[in-house]
Amino acid sequence: MSLSKELILLTVLVLGIGTKDAYAQDSLSVLYVPLIGITSIPNPATLPNGPGNVTYRYAVKNFIKEVPLTDIKVSDDVCDSVKFVTGDDNRDSRLDYDETWRYSCTTTISQTTESSATATGMANDITATHKANATVIVGSEDPAPQVSIVNATKVTYPLLLSAQGSEVIFTYKVNNPGVVSLSDITVTDDKCQNMSGKLGDTNGNNLLDPHEVWIYSCTINLKHTTISTVTVTAKANGLTATSSDSITINVNISQPTTSPGLPEWKIVSGILAAFILFIILKQKSNIKKRK
């Protein structure tokens, strides 16, 4: 073995330097972002004769088939005693894709009131949140419009992205849980501008009828973790209904990384060991020459 190779080998052994550079490996993964949806339906929706009791009925859905949701919570800003009614078919305390969890809450409404119900659930250490607004009209028989949106986005991309980022397609499902058809539907996203036209107007009347679902999509290139909020507005009976939903896309940018920095004592000991080996080999060489 030559002197240079012996020195290099000793340096590698003492300093603990590997024979290959250490780079972070990009791994293609599928990130299923949890998506929860809630509708809030008041019964009755109108109190034409003045104040009275109203029962809010809530339906909560999981819109991602691949992952169940846990830690489901439902609250309403005008009704405190929200109670679970039914829906956990397999009794595993997880909201599965094919389940609908139902809740209810009863309170007294004395004047026209807009309420906001919130549902939350978790999957993959990410919390999904969705709000549903409902309005009870007091002193009139004309019901208020009800509209709900579910940002039903399934995100698939490398969890570690290149510096150029990655394309993500948002898909929005807008439904009408009320009893009157809705007009003048607008859907906007604060992070995505190229919103597609609607699909789902089954009878072609340009009204979002009860039980219809209109679908929109929008494509965006993401380079950083982003919170996207979509808002929908609709009109009926001279009133405007609004709903919104947010989703967080977590983006980690992959960067080449080298081995961790070496402690100073390893550097010093490595240099010293190399120097000692050099002296030993030089002495051996001198002895051979004398012979």
Six-digit token pair at 81? 């005693």
The Cα–Cα gap between 280 and 7 comes to 11
Share of the chain above pLDDT 90, in %: 39
- pLDDT, position 22: 26
3-state secondary structure of 183: strand
pLDDT value, residue 165: 66
Cα 113 to Cα 131: distance, rounded to the nearest angstrom: 16
Cα gap 273→100, rounded to integer Å: 70
Task: Choose among 187, 73, 195: nearest CA to 130.
Answer: 73
User: For residue 284, is pLDDT > 50?
Assistant: yes
- Predicted pLDDT of residue 9: 33
- 59-117: pLDDT as tens digits: 999 988 888 999 999 999 999 999 999 999 999 999 999 999 999 999 999 999 999 99
Q: Tokens for 71, please give them.
A: 């830690």
| pLDDT per residue as tens digits for the range 154-210 | 554 444 445 566 777 888 889 888 888 999 999 999 999 989 989 999 999 999 998
User: Looking at the whole model, is its pTM more than 0.75?
Assistant: no
- State the DSSP code for 281: H
Residue 83 has a pLDDT of 98
Residue 27's alpha-carbon distances to 30, 155, 168, in angstroms, are 10, 15, 17
Q: Domain map of the chain by residue range?
A: 3-22+264-290, 36-253
- Angle CA 144–148–149, to nearest 5: 155
Q: How confident is the model at residue 234 (pLDDT cuts 50, 70, 90)?
A: very high
Mean pLDDT of the chain: 78
The C-alpha atoms of residue 260 and residue 152 are separated, in whole angstroms, by: 41
SS (H, E, C) 116-128: EEEEEEEECCEEE
